[in-house]
Structure 1
Amino acid sequence: MRIAPDLRIAAAARGFVLLALGGPILWDRNVSAAVLLTALGTGWLLALSLELRAPRLRVPLVVLDAGFVGLVVGTDLSSQAVLGALAVPPFVAGLWRGLRGVLLALSAELTAVVVVGVASGGALSAEQSLTVFTWVAMGLALGMVATFVRGALRDDDPTAPYRHASDLLRELNHLSVGLSSGLEPRSLGGVILSTVLDDIPAAAISIHVPLDDHLAVLAAKSLSGGDLDRCADFAAAAWARDQPVVEDGSFAFPLEGHRTTIAVVSGAVPSGSSIGPDELRHRVGRLQLALEEQAVQLETGLLFEAFRDTATADERQRLSREMHDGVAQDIASLGYLVDALAAQAPTPEAESQLGMLRERITAIVSEVRRSVTTLRTTVGSSESLGTAIVGVTRNLSQSSGIPIEVTLDEQAQRLRPEVEAELFRITQEALNNAVKHAECRTIRVHCQVAAPYAAITVADDGKGLGEARSDSYGMGIMRERAHLIDADLAIEEPPGGGLTVSVRLSAESGHPPAAPTPETKQVSTTR
């Protein structure tokens, strides 16, 4: 069994103190002090055994160990030979729990010494009090040293980040019981917008959150005639100034989270509204204070989502490495073995069968490589959704030999990262299905993004949907992904044949995306 460095240090400190105290006691033949020292040694040996076998008990053992030492020392304060043991529990507690453990140990042993000392021989004398205080002060100093040692040991321990993350995740699981509003940012953002609309009847309203060096739409609502582009401009102005902006019937104000500004709410009242500039400014200020609690909830949801996305991306990368370096290489090696057998085939029939097996192995290797590409391709922070789609279609076209035409119509403003990720995965699944099952000659992709709106269509000229296999989950997964971002997924078989998969994301108004801009471009990924 590998013993942790902090446990070795704690055992060594206890052993050293026992030897340092035991020498003078044996020299003076102090029987009562020897009995107390034996009790301390027995208790520390038991504590060491528990610390070794049950690391989770180290925190309660900090208090129990300190209380036990205080109990033993307080039994006979006239025997000053064992008072030095009071310095050990704070040191060990500093190794286990840092400064918090040191303070717990000092409190426990001081309480035990005073209670037992008073119960045994009445009030402590001035000399006894001074001696106890001296050794407790020494314990505090050693505890601070142990806290520093603990930090140094953790810096050298490769498992320390995992143990720390484990503690945080355990605490998060415990706290999640009280998160009655949930952790989904879009839902929390929608609640905030509803609260604002209850106080300010706006024709258009949106909530933006930071994404790298710009703002992204988290949620938006628009009535007929509402101008979400103006909302975006005012949101950028309020974010840059970090203060509310009210002008010409439009407004924007930042939302303060636990420690920093986490979002901006912006909107515009309809023309002819009875709300004047002063009244609008007053309502904005009132809302900014009223939404403090909901802003903290939104911040928590955004942090949790960022953590979840990072963990998911890391796991996808790990799986892609395992598939590329493990499964793909093993299957490819089987192909080389089949080639060797085919070269020595005893009959033409055997050679033909081995050739068919070689073709099947080649197809499986291609499928594994496509899966690796699927796992590794993501929408990065520096590239747009359309750019990521072009990248995956280029790889699929090159590996499958099927021409894939991509039409992009994107505006500069980005969608939220989690929304882009789900739209990208839906598109990726639709493309993979077309390549693997449609037996098509051409695939066409149309991607239109004007945040908070988006529409993506994947159409092929293949054999259509066909009968669903019992082991096929692609369509169900696409529907689940669309549901996560409140998007509409449609799967249709046009009269002329083939299959069309469309996913649309829009605000409650149902307005279509803006007309094509000069950024619209045609991309051909024909092999």
Structure 2
Amino acid sequence: MPASTPSQPQTQPLAAAARGVLLALVAALTLFATRDVAQLWWIALLGVAGLPAVLAPQHRLLGPLSRFAEVVVLGLAASQVAADTQLTGVTGGLGASAVLPYLAVPTTVTALRRRFSEGAALLAVAAATLVVSAALTEVDGGRQLGQLGYLAVCAQWLILAGLGLYTAGTLQRVMRVRGEGKPQPYAEATRLLTQLRTVARQLPGATLDPGGISEHLLEELRMVAKTDRGAVLSASGGGRLVVLAQIGVDRVDWETTLDADSAIADAWASQQAQTSSRSQARSRQAGEVSALIVPLVAGVRTVGLVVLEADTGHAYPPPVVARVTALTGPAALRLEAALLFDEVRSLATNEERQRLAREIHDGVAQELVMVGYGIDNALAYVQDDPEETAEALRTLRGEVTRVITELRLSLFELRSEVDRHGGLAAAIAEYARTVGASGGLRVHLSLDESTARLPAATEAELLRIAQEAVTNARKHAGAANLWVTCEVDPPYAQIEVSDDGHGIGDQRPEGHYGLAIMAERAERIRGRLEIRPRRPSGTTVAVVLGSSPRRDKVRGSTVAEGE
């Protein structure tokens, strides 16, 4: 059997029971007020009028029409029953009060369904029916409309029904606000993360990597539009853009400031493709240039930009722009998912580091400090002062001090993050100085970082690689000097850590846990990890991200001069 939908007839036992109870109540009150069984036919008619609303409450027409029919029958019944009670010597107000309590049924139903305008319309129709019916009903030689008792009772029940409608609406809003409190966002987040995990597992041969998606998009665009150089840019902190990927023979120093007077800023703000006869690089190139900037819009949010340039004029006519935008539309959604996934992963990683740091600080570190205090007390109160015992205690004290130092450095490493204002080079320099001071190493720094920034996730991975290399040099190399070089010129970066120790020997990344971790981190950001001996002694660990044609040219010219 097909599953029922809201538009299909379906019974609601609670609503039907409420109507039945109120029908029985008004029937009993009517019989008590009139002493006439014949008056119960109004109650039967009222039940027939409300039957479609019980059987098809969700129907677009039957439900509302049935409720309007109920209030019309209710108005006629109240007027007629009031007139009959006056003929028997009872005030008309008592007769109307016997029937009008049923007015709460249709108005409450509309309030629970959040149809407050329909509820107000029901009250208006009920009031109009009561007035018209009273004007047409003759009682004791006059019109019932002139009976003050009858009018007062009708007004009372209409006001009570209106207050009930307002109260039900207020309760609905309060319940909705409470329902939209803490549980619902968490439930929505769980649903979205579960869907993201499922999608990530089902992607054939692809990953949720912003850089990889950007590179694939540029390769696709190169097939449909002439491109001598191009890049995919994404938003970063401080109102700037970062280069996720680029193509071309020469590296381009793209404009990454959104408040500059450029086609890039215009495309980001307007969410419309822009063409320009001027290069979008900071260093303007001479000659005729065609530039096309297409925003990557996912829904209503701009998640990035595609910049294409050709060294010929009029390279991007409208047909070419249409072909490019046809490819960037689906790519924007993929890139947004990758960026969100990257951000969620980064947040989870940072929270885990903070948790581990707190556990180490509050657990093992405190216990070792207490052990150290105990050894100090033992040294102070040794009675016989045997030389061997004292020497053993001193050795133990030195070992405990070494472990505490290692733990403190581990805490520092876990808590170290790339400051969005200080940059990657500053974070690496701070860590190298701290570790060098604790290990008695003389640290030599060479920092060259441009104002442009790498993506936050890439900077975090490069920092962890540099930290592992510096830690290995302090622990295992037996070195006296440490050289740390950091060159960052997005999308190119190179971090190099060298020491003058005894060298790494025959160890390879696959045979050393720390080196294997560094290799995995480098592969995750599409970088290259290089481990080589340093002359005359020591080891050099370097990670290189991207390529720098300008730097390669300098190296090539140096080699040529040497030849």
TM-score under structure 2 length normalisation: 0.65
> Deviation of residue 74 (structure 1)?
6.1
> Deviation of residue 185 (structure 1)?
1.0
For the residue of structure 2 that corresponds to 1:79, the secondary structure is helix
Answer yes or no: is 1:114 the counterpart of 2:62.
Answer: no
In the TM superposition, what whole-angstrom CA distance separates every residue of 1:295-319 from its partner, at most 9, and x where no partner exists?
A: 1221222122122212322322232
Match of 2:341 among 289, 298, 304: 304
2:263 match: 238
Distance in 2 separating the partners of 1:111 and 1:357: 89
> Deviation of residue 235 (structure 1)?
12
> CA 1:111 to 1:311, structure 2 compared with 1: closer, same or farther past 3 Å?
farther
Answer yes or no: is 1:499 the counterpart of 2:539.
Answer: yes
Distance in 1 separating the partners of 2:56 and 2:22: 12
> CA 1:250 to 1:515, structure 2 compared with 1: closer, same or farther past 3 Å?
farther
From the CA coordinates, give the structure whose radius of gyration is larger: 2
> Deviation of residue 214 (structure 1)?
1.3
Distance in 1 separating the partners of 2:292 and 2:173: 51
Distance in 1 separating the partners of 2:26 and 2:424: 74
Match of 1:402 among 421, 441, 450: 441
> Deviation of residue 149 (structure 1)?
3.2
Is the 2:500–2:534 contact (alpha carbons within 8 Å) kept by the matching residues of 1? no
> CA 1:265 to 1:343, structure 2 compared with 1: closer, same or farther past 3 Å?
same
For the residue of structure 2 that corresponds to 1:339, the secondary structure is helix
Distance in 1 separating the partners of 2:52 and 2:426: 67
Is the 2:111–2:169 contact (alpha carbons within 8 Å) kept by the matching residues of 1? no
For the residue of structure 1 that corresponds to 2:294, the secondary structure is strand
Match of 1:422 among 446, 461, 464: 461
Distance in 2 separating the partners of 1:68 and 1:132: 14
Distance in 2 separating the partners of 1:166 and 1:373: 35
| Paired letter, 1:476 | A
Distance in 2 separating the partners of 1:192 and 1:403: 46
Match of 1:455 among 494, 497, 516: 494
Is the 1:462–1:499 contact (alpha carbons within 8 Å) kept by the matching residues of 2? yes
Answer yes or no: is 1:69 the counterpart of 2:93.
Answer: no
For the residue of structure 2 that corresponds to 1:365, the secondary structure is helix
Match of 1:214 among 240, 261, 264: 240
Answer yes or no: is 1:135 the counterpart of 2:105.
Answer: no
1:188 match: 213
In the TM superposition, what whole-angstrom CA distance separates every residue of 1:153-197 from its partner, at most 9, and x where no partner exists?
A: 579x8xx37x73354123321354345464221122112212211
Of residues 338-347 and 460-469 in structure 1, the stretch that sits farther from structure 2 once superposed is 460-469
Distance in 2 separating the partners of 1:238 and 1:143: 55
| Paired letter, 1:503 | V
Answer yes or no: is 1:228 the counterpart of 2:248.
Answer: no
Match of 1:78 among 23, 26, 33: 23
CA RMSD after TM alignment: 3.5
Distance in 2 separating the partners of 1:113 and 1:154: 27
Match of 2:291 among 234, 250, 254: 250
Is the 2:425–2:486 contact (alpha carbons within 8 Å) kept by the matching residues of 1? yes
For the residue of structure 2 that corresponds to 1:70, the secondary structure is helix
Distance in 1 separating the partners of 2:179 and 2:110: 26
Match of 2:308 among 267, 273, 278: 267
For the residue of structure 2 that corresponds to 1:197, the secondary structure is helix
For the residue of structure 1 that corresponds to 2:253, the secondary structure is helix
In the TM superposition, what whole-angstrom CA distance separates every residue of 1:63-121 from its partner, at most 9, and x where no partner exists?
A: xxx94423544666733589xxxxxxxxxxxxxxxxxxxxxxxxxxx9993269xxxxx
> CA 1:294 to 1:440, structure 2 compared with 1: closer, same or farther past 3 Å?
same
> Deviation of residue 405 (structure 1)?
0.9
For the residue of structure 1 that corresponds to 2:340, the secondary structure is helix
Match of 1:198 among 212, 223, 245: 223
> Deviation of residue 202 (structure 1)?
1.5
Is the 1:231–1:250 contact (alpha carbons within 8 Å) kept by the matching residues of 2? no
Answer yes or no: is 1:348 the counterpart of 2:289.
Answer: no
Distance in 1 separating the partners of 2:420 and 2:52: 56
2:513 match: 473
Number of residue pairs the alignment of both structures matches: 408
Distance in 1 separating the partners of 2:486 and 2:415: 21
> Deviation of residue 146 (structure 1)?
3.8
> Deviation of residue 279 (structure 1)?
4.0
Distance in 1 separating the partners of 2:395 and 2:246: 56
1:324 match: 361
Is the 1:386–1:408 contact (alpha carbons within 8 Å) kept by the matching residues of 2? yes
| Paired letter, 1:449 | V
Which ranges of structure 1 fall in alignment gaps of 5 or more residues? 1-65, 83-109, 117-122, 517-527
Is the 2:479–2:499 contact (alpha carbons within 8 Å) kept by the matching residues of 1? yes
> Deviation of residue 497 (structure 1)?
2.4
For the residue of structure 1 that corresponds to 2:307, the secondary structure is strand
| Paired letter, 1:327 | V
Match of 2:186 among 141, 152, 165: 165
Is the 1:235–1:265 contact (alpha carbons within 8 Å) kept by the matching residues of 2? no
> CA 1:318 to 1:78, structure 2 compared with 1: closer, same or farther past 3 Å?
same
Answer yes or no: is 1:365 the counterpart of 2:404.
Answer: yes
| Paired letter, 1:246 | S
Is the 1:252–1:264 contact (alpha carbons within 8 Å) kept by the matching residues of 2? yes
Is the 1:208–1:235 contact (alpha carbons within 8 Å) kept by the matching residues of 2? no
In the TM superposition, what whole-angstrom CA distance separates every residue of 1:251-307 from its partner, at most 9, and x where no partner exists?
A: 3232222222221111322x4x5xx41644542354134411211221222122122
> CA 1:281 to 1:138, structure 2 compared with 1: closer, same or farther past 3 Å?
closer
Match of 1:335 among 372, 391, 413: 372
> Deviation of residue 402 (structure 1)?
0.9
> Deviation of residue 391 (structure 1)?
1.1
2:484 match: 445
> CA 1:147 to 1:431, structure 2 compared with 1: closer, same or farther past 3 Å?
farther
Is the 1:443–1:460 contact (alpha carbons within 8 Å) kept by the matching residues of 2? yes
Sequence identity percentage? 30
Distance in 1 separating the partners of 2:451 and 2:303: 21
2:31 match: none
1:149 match: 174
> CA 1:493 to 1:227, structure 2 compared with 1: closer, same or farther past 3 Å?
closer
| Paired letter, 2:243 | V
| Paired letter, 2:108 | W
Distance in 2 separating the partners of 1:481 and 1:396: 21
1:11 match: none
Is the 1:234–1:251 contact (alpha carbons within 8 Å) kept by the matching residues of 2? no
Which ranges of structure 2 fall in alignment gaps of 5 or more residues? 1-10, 28-50, 58-65, 75-101, 115-164, 278-288, 556-563
| Paired letter, 2:410 | S
Distance in 1 separating the partners of 2:236 and 2:189: 25
| Paired letter, 2:276 | V
Distance in 2 separating the partners of 1:197 and 1:233: 25
